[in-house]
Structure 1
Amino acid sequence: MPRFMGFVRMEENIGEPPQSLFGAMDAYIGERAASGVFIDGGGLYGTEDAVNFVVRKGEVTRVDGPYAEAKEVVGGWSLLEYATLEDAVADQEEFARLHAEHWPEVTVVATLRQISGGPDAPEA
């Protein structure tokens, strides 16, 4: 079955999500974990302790956070497995709708990307 990574991007330091979102996400993730769709995932701390290694022209440079130039940061991730791409897309939309319903004042970008299985992986 195809595997996917889900990412949640948002502005940093916008405060805690409302308790209703935590409750809705607990139910949403619990259902998907029970069905085998949700494999793993979680929230991420802010960029204050993040470390980037930038490779440019054969040189490696370490850049420590926080990153003032960052407008959005990845605030959470998930590893998911669905029978079809269509199932994955529909479920990611439901995930986004939970955020719209429970935290409407915040802009959230919920991204879904299929995990490559190697050189023979499908292009779409």
Structure 2
Amino acid sequence: MRFLSMIRVTQDTGQRPSERLLAEMGELMAQMTVAGVLVDTAGLRPLSEGVRVGLSRGRIKVTDGPFAEAKEVVGGYALLEAASLDEAVEWTRRFLQVHGDEWELECEVRAIDESCKPQG
């Protein structure tokens, strides 16, 4: 099964990872790759560089970032291949632990509905 772990930060502060975090994260990503769990991962650029595209009553609206009302921001993601939700949560827990007390984060882990994929 595939799972998407969305990394949420409380605000878009532009906080950069420390050298320690980069080193420990590199080790964890290597372990996840060897285990065949990590399909893809990346951080996301700041809200100021993004847009929101919405649909309301048949009309499309595009809004440039940053978004003043944003309290939580998706700061990155990991696409995981795991045998169960419990396994995906365990890897996500390890990801959060690497951050130590430098960061305020949470991850939302959700199974990917494979029936929604395009066929062919």
TM range (shorter): 0.7 to 0.9
Q: In 1, distance between residues paired with 2:102 and 2:37?
A: 29
Q: Which residue of 2 aligns with 1:115?
A: 112
Query: Which structure 2 residue ranges, 5 or more long, are not aligned?
Result: none
State the 4+ residue runs in structure 1 displaced beyond 6 angstroms: none
Q: In 2, distance between residues paired with 1:72 and 1:23?
A: 26
* Percent of paired sites with the same residue: 32
The alignment status of 1:9 with 2:8, answered yes or no, reads: yes
Counterparts of 1:13-32 in structure 2, within 5 Å, are 13-32=13-32
In the TM superposition, what is the alpha-carbon distance from 1:39 to its structure 2 partner?
0.7
Aligned residue identity for 2:104? T
TM-score of the pair, normalised by structure 1? 0.85
Give RMSD over aligned pairs.
1.5
Q: In 1, distance between residues paired with 2:41 and 2:85?
A: 19
Counterparts of 1:48-87 in structure 2, within 5 Å, are 48-87=48-87
Partner deviation per Cα, 1:57-87 (whole Å, 9 max, x = no partner): 1111011111121122111111110122221
Q: In 2, distance between residues paired with 1:77 and 1:86?
A: 18
In the TM superposition, what is the alpha-carbon distance from 1:115 to its structure 2 partner?
0.4
Q: The residue matched to 1:118 in structure 2 has which SS?
A: helix
Q: The residue matched to 1:33 in structure 2 has which SS?
A: helix
Q: The residue matched to 1:68 in structure 2 has which SS?
A: coil
Q: In 2, distance between residues paired with 1:72 and 1:18?
A: 22
**Count of aligned residue pairs for this structure pair:** 115
Q: In 2, distance between residues paired with 1:28 and 1:82?
A: 16
Query: Which structure 1 residue ranges, 5 or more long, are not aligned?
Result: 120-124
Q: The residue matched to 1:91 in structure 2 has which SS?
A: helix
**Most deviating of 46-55 and 10-19:** 10-19
TM-score of the pair, normalised by structure 2? 0.87
